[in-house]
Structure 1
Amino acid sequence: MKPLIAAALLLATGAASAFDRQSWLDDYAFLKTALEQRYANLAWFASPQGGLNLPAIDKRTRRLLETAEDDDMAKAALTAFVGGFHDGHFSPAGGALQPKIARPLTLPAVDYSKLGAMQACAALGYAPFRSVAFSLPFESLPGTVLEADGLARAFRAGVVTAPDGTRLGIVRIARFREQDSSPNSCMEAWGERQADGAMSEADVAPVRSAASAAWMQTLAAQLRHFREQKVAAVIVDVGGNSGGNDTGDWAARLFTANDVHSARLMMSAAPLAAQYFDEQLAQLRAAQKEKDATPEARAMLEQSIAAFEARKAGIAARHCDLSWVWTEQRPWQPQGCSRLIDAGYASGQAAYLPPKSFGNQTIASSIYWAAGVDGLRGAWNGPAYVLTDSGTASSAEMFAALMHDAVGARTVGRATAGDGCGFMADVPPVELPRSRLRYRVPNCVRLRADDGNEVAGVKPDLPVLPAEGENDRARAYRLLDMVAADLRARPAAAAAAKP
C-alpha cells in the first residue's frame, strides 16, 4: 500500500503544480486592459446609469482567482466576470484555436454560374433559420385571419381581433437579416440575373441587392394592405429577433410618413475605428465619381468626407485612462472620459435626408444608407406597437428604440435583451495570452434620444409579463386587450386609426 500512497501523492503534487494561478491573474489583468482600450460600453457600465457595480465585480473576480484551486475554477471566474456585464455581444468567441495548419487544403472557389437558383441561394445563406411563428400564439386566437405564413413570403402576417372587437394588423419580423427569411426573394432575383461566364460571390452582389430590396418591398406591401383593410393599429412582432444588420434602422421608415432621424453612433477610440472610417471614406469617394452629381451633392460629399477624415485624425485625442472604472463610478458622459469617438449616425454620415435627395441613389445612399427605402416610406402611417421580449437583441433593439424614439410607436411585452450596438468594425476577438481564451468585445454605441446607451435595453411602455396560471395563448389575448385599451385612451392614436 505504501508505494500506491506515494504514487497518489506524487500525482496530486503534479496536478497542483500544473495549476498556475498567477497566469490566470495575468490573463485577467490583460483582459481588463483590453476592455479599457476597446470596449465601447465600459464607461456606460461604470456609471450609475449602467446598473452595474464594476468595482464590486472586479473584487469578486480577483477573490475567485486568488482562491481558485484548478484551471476549471479560474476559468469559471472569468466566465462569471464576462457574464456579469449582461451584454450579449461581449461574449466568448469559441474555444481556443488550434495551431495553424501546416499544409491547409486548397478550397476551390464557388462558381455560381453552374448552380441552379435553389442551390445558389442556399450557398449564399438564404434560408429560414429563425422560427416564422409569432412570438406569442396569436395564430390560435379567435378572429385571427392569417394572410401570410412567413414561408412562401418573407413575413408571417395577418389580422387579429382584440376582446373588444378592435381589429389589429400584425406582422412578424423574425430577424433583421433578409437571408434568414424565405429564400424566395433570392430565387426570384437569381432568375433575373445575367450570367456571362464563371460567377464568384462578388459577382452575385446584384442578386443580394435585389433580394434585399424585395424583402423591404414585401414588408411595405403588407403594411399597405393593412391600410386598405382599415385596421386600427399595426403590431410588429420582434420578440425573439436576435438582430441582424442595418435593415433594423431602415425598416422603421416604413411605419410612418414623418421624418425619421437615426440614432447617434459612437465607436471605441481605437485603431478599429479608423478601419470603419476608412470604409466610409472609400464609399463616399466612390460616390464622388458619379458623373451626374449636382453641385449640392458634391458639396455634401465633400462635407461628409471632411467629417470622417476629422474623426479619424481625432482618434488619439479621445484616449484617456479608463482604469478608474474598477475603483469608482462616474456619471455617464459619452463626450467625457469614455474613449468613445463620434462616428456619425446609425444611418451613416446623415441622420436623415429628404426622399430622393440629389436625384442620385448612389450618392444619397453613400451619405444616408436608409435612402434605399425612399420609395417605401410611410407604407403605414397609423398607430404602431412593437412587441418585444428578452430575446429581442442587437439591430432588433435598434428598430424598437427608433420606432419608440422617432416614430412614436409604443412598445409592448417584455424588456429587450440589452445587447445594444455591438460591432461596426470586423476585428479579431481579444485573446488572452496564457489561457488562450477569446472574447468578442463590442466596438460601437448607439445613443437613445435621451443620450442613454441602447445597451440598457428597451423597456416596454405596456408591460405584459407572464402571470401565474396563464399560458402563452391567454397572455397573447391579454396583450391584444391592452393594446386596444391603450388605443382608446390615446385620442390622437384613436383619431389616426379612423379610416
Structure 2
Amino acid sequence: MKRIDPGTRFERAKRYFKYASLTVLALLVLAVGWDVASYDADAWLEDYGRLKRDMAQGYANLDWMVEKRGADLPALDRRTTAALRNAHSNVRAFVALRGFVRGFGDPHLRMKAGERPARAQAGADAHGTQDIDPPAGKDCAAAGYEEGDHGFRFPFERIQGWKPLRKGDFPSGTIGGTGVLRIAQFGEDQYLSACQAVFETGIGRYALKLAVRARQQAQLRAAIAELRKNGARRLLVDVSGNGGGTEWVNEVVALMTDHELGRRGALRVGPACDRSDVWRGARAPCSVFAGTSADRISLQGTGEWRGPLLILADSGTGSAAEDFVAWLQQNGIAIVIGEKTAGAGCGYVDGGKPTRLSVAPVDIWMPNCARFLDDGTNEIDGIAPDVPLLMTNVEPAAKAKALAAALAAH
C-alpha cells in the first residue's frame, strides 16, 4: 500500500480548506448581493406606515408612553423613516424596524415570526366560516403544549428549616410554619404532562385548555391541603420569574382567599376617532380605549387558603402574574416580598390582532388592553413590593438570608 507523504497530505488539506473557504465566501457574497438587490424601500416604508396606523388606533399603551415616559413620537418616526429609506438591504431594514419596536420598552409590543399559509386558514370550512372550537391537533405537541420549567429558582434549600414536600407542576415545601408554593407559569400550554393526561382524540383547542386548567386547579388545591396538613399556618406563593399566561390566573387568585375582591377593570382599545396625528406630535383627539370608565370588577374567593398570605415576586414576574399580585396586594390579602415586577401589564385580549408585514414573514404584536392600579398607575410601570428584597444578580446565600429575615419580621 502506497504511503502518502505527510507534506503532500498537508498541502492537499490546505487546498481543500482554501477551496471550501472560497465557496463559503462566494455563497455569502451571493446572499448579500441578493439581499441588496431584492431590497425595496417603498415596500418597507409602506409596511411601516401601516404599522404606525395600527399602533395609533390599537396600541393600548401608546398614550401612556407619551404622557408618562416622554416618548417623542415625531423624532422616533423621523429616525425610523430615514433608516428604512437608506437601509439598502432587507437585513438593515429589519434591524431598523426592530429598533423602532424595542424603543418603546414594552414586553408585549414585539416582533414574532409569522406564518404565511398559502391555503385557507385552518379551522375554516369551504364556505369560509370559522369553527367555534377548532380541533386542537393530533396530540399535545401539535396543539402547542410544552413542558415548562416548574421548579424552584429561589434557593429555599439554603434557609434553615426548609423541608421540601412535593415536586412536579407545583413544587412545595415548608419553613417552620410557613408553607411555600411555587407557581412558575400561568399558561396552560406550559404543562405538557397535564395536557397528555386529559387529551382526547378530536378535542377542541378551547376544550383542551379548559381541561388542562381544571386538572391544574385540582393539583393546586391538593398542594395547599398538603401544606396545611404539614403545619403551614401561612402561605408564601412564589411567582418569581413567572412571565404570565392566560385568564386562568383569576381562578388561581380565587384559591387564595375566601373574601370578595375588587379592582379596576382592564380597558380595551377601540378609539372613536382617527388618531394618526400623534406621530406628528399632536395630542390625540380621543382616547385609544373604547371607554375611559374606571368601572370595578369583582372576584369571589373560593377559600382553599384562608390564612395569612405572602407573595414572592421579582423583575421577571409579568403579565398575568402581575394581575395575580395586583388582585391580592390591592385588596389587602397578601404582603408582596421581592422586587418591582416586570411591567408587562395587560396583553392580548381575544388573542390579539398583529400587524403582518408584507416584506418579511414577521408579525408585530401590540397589547390591545391595559390594566391600571387603584392609584391610576398603568401596570406596565411595574408593581412595587411591600417588602423590598433584592433578588436579581444576588448570591444565593445572600438571597436566602434576606428572605429568612423578611419572613421573621413579617
Name the TM-score, length of structure 1 as normaliser.
0.63
Q: Deviations over 1:36-70 (max 9, x none)?
A: 1221222222222x464434433432343355343
- What's the C-alpha RMSD, in Å, of the aligned pairs? 3.9
**Residues 235 and 122 (structure 1 numbering): CA distance in 2 closer, same or farther, change over 3 Å?**
same
2:154 counterpart of 1:145: no
**Residues 100 and 186 (structure 1 numbering): CA distance in 2 closer, same or farther, change over 3 Å?**
closer
Equivalent residue letter for 1:44: W
Q: Deviations over 1:8-43 (max 9, x none)?
A: xxxx99986754434433332221111112212222
Partners of 1:234 and 1:385 within 8 A in 2? yes
Q: Residue 183 of structure 1: SS of its match in structure 2?
A: helix
**Equivalence for 2:377:** 452
1:352 to 295, 298, 302: 298
Q: Deviations over 1:455-475 (max 9, x none)?
A: 22223233322588x522431
Distance in 2 (CA, whole Å) between partners of 1:240 and 1:472 is: 15
> Which residues in structure 2 correspond to 1:11-26 (within 5 Å)?
19-26=39-46
Distance in 2 (CA, whole Å) between partners of 1:329 and 1:460 is: 36
Equivalent residue letter for 1:33: R
**Residues 98 and 388 (structure 1 numbering): CA distance in 2 closer, same or farther, change over 3 Å?**
same
**Equivalence for 1:180:** 190
Distance in 1 (CA, whole Å) between partners of 2:142 and 2:37 is: 49
Equivalent residue letter for 1:219: L
Partners of 2:135 and 2:204 within 8 A in 1? no
Partners of 1:322 and 1:337 within 8 A in 2? yes
**Equivalence for 2:79:** 60
Distance in 1 (CA, whole Å) between partners of 2:279 and 2:204 is: 46
Partners of 1:55 and 1:327 within 8 A in 2? yes
2:80 counterpart of 1:155: no
**Equivalence for 1:240:** 241
Partners of 2:254 and 2:299 within 8 A in 1? no
2:341 counterpart of 1:341: no
2:386 counterpart of 1:474: no
Q: Deviations over 1:329-378 (max 9, x none)?
A: 869xxxx8222124999xxx982366xxxxxxxxxxxxxxxxxxx6xx22
**Equivalence for 1:42:** 62
Distance in 1 (CA, whole Å) between partners of 2:34 and 2:350 is: 44
> Which residues in structure 2 correspond to 1:322-333 (within 5 Å)?
322-328=275-281
**Equivalence for 1:287:** none
**Residues 444 and 229 (structure 1 numbering): CA distance in 2 closer, same or farther, change over 3 Å?**
same
Distance in 2 (CA, whole Å) between partners of 1:258 and 1:429 is: 38
**Equivalence for 2:386:** 461
Name the TM-score, length of structure 2 as normaliser.
0.75
- C-alpha deviation, 1:250, in angstroms: 2.1
Distance in 2 (CA, whole Å) between partners of 1:212 and 1:14 is: 48
2:319 counterpart of 1:319: no
2:309 to 368, 376, 384: 384
**Equivalence for 1:415:** 340
**Equivalence for 2:262:** 261
**Equivalence for 2:106:** 87
Distance in 1 (CA, whole Å) between partners of 2:305 and 2:80 is: 50
**Equivalence for 1:32:** 52
| Greater length-normalized contact order (CA 8 Å, ≥ 6 residues apart) | 1
**Residues 66 and 203 (structure 1 numbering): CA distance in 2 closer, same or farther, change over 3 Å?**
closer
**Residues 340 and 438 (structure 1 numbering): CA distance in 2 closer, same or farther, change over 3 Å?**
same
Across the two proteins, how many residue pairs are aligned to each other?
368
Distance in 1 (CA, whole Å) between partners of 2:142 and 2:234 is: 38
**Residues 237 and 121 (structure 1 numbering): CA distance in 2 closer, same or farther, change over 3 Å?**
same
Partners of 1:135 and 1:237 within 8 A in 2? no
Equivalent residue letter for 1:159: T
- C-alpha deviation, 1:477, in angstroms: 2.9
**Equivalence for 1:201:** 203
Q: Deviations over 1:417-474 (max 9, x none)?
A: 2222111123552123445642112212222222322222223233322588x52243
Q: Deviations over 1:100-130 (max 9, x none)?
A: 169x9xxxx9899xxxxxx966666665x22
Gaps of 5+ in 2: 1-31, 123-133
Distance in 1 (CA, whole Å) between partners of 2:79 and 2:354 is: 24
Partners of 1:65 and 1:74 within 8 A in 2? yes
Distance in 1 (CA, whole Å) between partners of 2:38 and 2:215 is: 58
- C-alpha deviation, 1:403, in angstroms: 1.8
**Equivalence for 2:11:** none
Distance in 2 (CA, whole Å) between partners of 1:111 and 1:398 is: 27
- C-alpha deviation, 1:385, in angstroms: 2.2
- The structure that is helix-richer by fraction is 1
Partners of 2:242 and 2:317 within 8 A in 1? yes
Distance in 1 (CA, whole Å) between partners of 2:141 and 2:46 is: 45
Q: Residue 298 of structure 2: SS of its match in structure 1?
A: coil
